[in-house]
């Protein structure tokens, strides 16, 4: 996970610790909102993903008040200090990694079938 997070953080231009929390939040969101089979395949390809998802937790604060969905994820990521361009960069890098691991069709399905996600692809 450290190598994966390090690469993602460098490409997105953010701190490793923030990247790990953000990736955990993103993967947790995908698990809840996305197509189960493809998301499970993606998570299985990322060593330490389960720990990152658990560490990201369910949130609270504004994200908790928003309930769920892409808006709550955005609030959670902004709560980590990320701006919209950093969130988009991180999402694009995660999607690029996903295409390498589960194929373009699998990532296309995740992006298409997860509400609100196409804005970040």
Express each pLDDT in 54-103 by its tens digit: 988 755 444 444 567 898 999 999 999 999 999 988 999 999 999 999 99
How far is the CA of 75 from the CAs of 3, 6, 11, 42, 65, in angstroms? 26, 23, 22, 23, 10
- List domains and CATH numbers for the chain: 2-115 (1.10.490.110)
CA–CA separation, 31 and 15 (whole Å)? 24
Q: What is the Cβ-side half-sphere exposure of residue 14, based on CA atoms within 13 angstroms?
A: 27
Specify burial of residue 119 (Cβ count, 10 A radius: 0-12, 13-18, 19+). exposed
> Residue 90: which of 2, 43, 36, 21 has the closest Cα?
21
Q: What is the DSSP letter of 34?
A: S
pTM of structure: 0.88
Express each pLDDT in 13-25 by its tens digit: 899 999 999 999 9
């Amino acid at each position: 996970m450290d190598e994966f997070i390090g690469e993602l953080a460098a490409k997105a231009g953010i701190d490793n610790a923030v990247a790990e929390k953000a990736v955990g939040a993103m993967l947790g969101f995908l698990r809840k909102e996305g197509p189960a089979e493809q998301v499970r395949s993606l998570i299985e390809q990322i060593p330490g993903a389960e720990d990152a998802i658990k560490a990201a937790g369910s949130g609270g604060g504004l994200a908790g008040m928003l309930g769920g969905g892409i808006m709550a994820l955005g609030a959670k990521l902004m709560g980590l200090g990320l701006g919209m361009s950093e969130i988009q960069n991180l999402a694009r890098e995660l999607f690029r990694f996903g295409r390498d691991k589960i194929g373009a069709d699998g990532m296309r399905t995740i992006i298409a079938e997860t509400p609100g996600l196409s804005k970040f692809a």
